[in-house]
Amino acid sequence: MLDWSDRHCRYLHRLLSRHALLYSEMVTTGALIHGDRARHLDYSAAELPLALQLGGSEPADLAQCARWAQAWGYSEVNLNCGCPSERVQRGAFGACLMREPALVADGVKAMLDAVSIPVTVKHRIGIDKTESYDFVRDFVGALSLAGCRTFIVHARNAWLQGLSPRDNREVPPLRYDWGYQLKKDFPMLEFVINGGITQTDQIEQHLQHVDGVMLGREAYHNPWWLSEWDQQFFADASQAGLTRESVEQKMVVYITEQAALFGTPWQAIARHMLGLRHGLPGARRWRQVWSDHKLKELPAEQVMALAHQPLA
């Protein structure tokens, strides 16, 4: 979700669900150690609970970044062992780390020794076209011995050669049953399933077999879906009166604040809410107005008013 689930996206998602655990974009250990740490780690307290997703492989670096995550107030540190992009592979992290479970285990242990917040791992079920349940079972087993208790299973292989990151989310076949089998083989561990989930009934089906469900791009493109989750999955009806219009208005207030404090242009924030009226009449025109760079000099309130004007 690099360049997608930034702090502005997460602010929108938290307006829609008070209870869902939100995840940051993947941030590399190098970016935190050598770059603008505050830019990568700062967030609004309204986003909590919030997990920081790290990309890296050196145990000492991972431990230091986990310490910063805890000091910044993050709820969890998540190590990404699932991203298949060539850029990530060149950095020797992401899905290619599944070939080195001992190294990943060392990194997990180093982070657990450094912090008191949960340390979790997101991973695929295999590498390239060779499919073997034993491979992912042994990977989980090695990390569990290092102390990891929660695994987020993207239930596809990662093909490290010949597929783009987008194709890696669609071409390798989904094997949810392998995620279910991990839960059977390691009943004391927590497993969260991920990949290809687009409907509420799918979530309900998965929750009969595993402990949780992670959503990515579907939640981004159809964010209003999140507004159902508190009542359906967390027994909290306090969001029952929420409307798309009230969420949009709160986002305009947020956009105005960010412009005043940091000079953030409204387009950088509004891009994350273009799916808010997904499937509704007039949604296309509404999106066109909110993404019209010719309106960039207008304040967000005026842009919202234009988005809701009836067609002449």
Please give the positions annotated as active site: 83
User: Three-state SS for 74?
Assistant: coil
Element (H, E) at 106: helix 101-114
> Are the CB atoms for 8 and 262 separated by under 8 Å?
no
* Tokens 């019209």 belong to residue: 292
Bridge partner list, 153: 123, 193
Dihedral in degrees, nearest 10, Cα atoms 168, 169, 173, 174: 140
Q: Helix, strand, coil shares of the chain as percentages rounded to 5?
A: 50, 15, 35
Long-range contacts of 167-176 (CB under 8 A, 24+ apart): 168/84, 169/195, 169/217, 175/125, 175/131, 176/206, 176/209
Bridge partner list, 191: 151
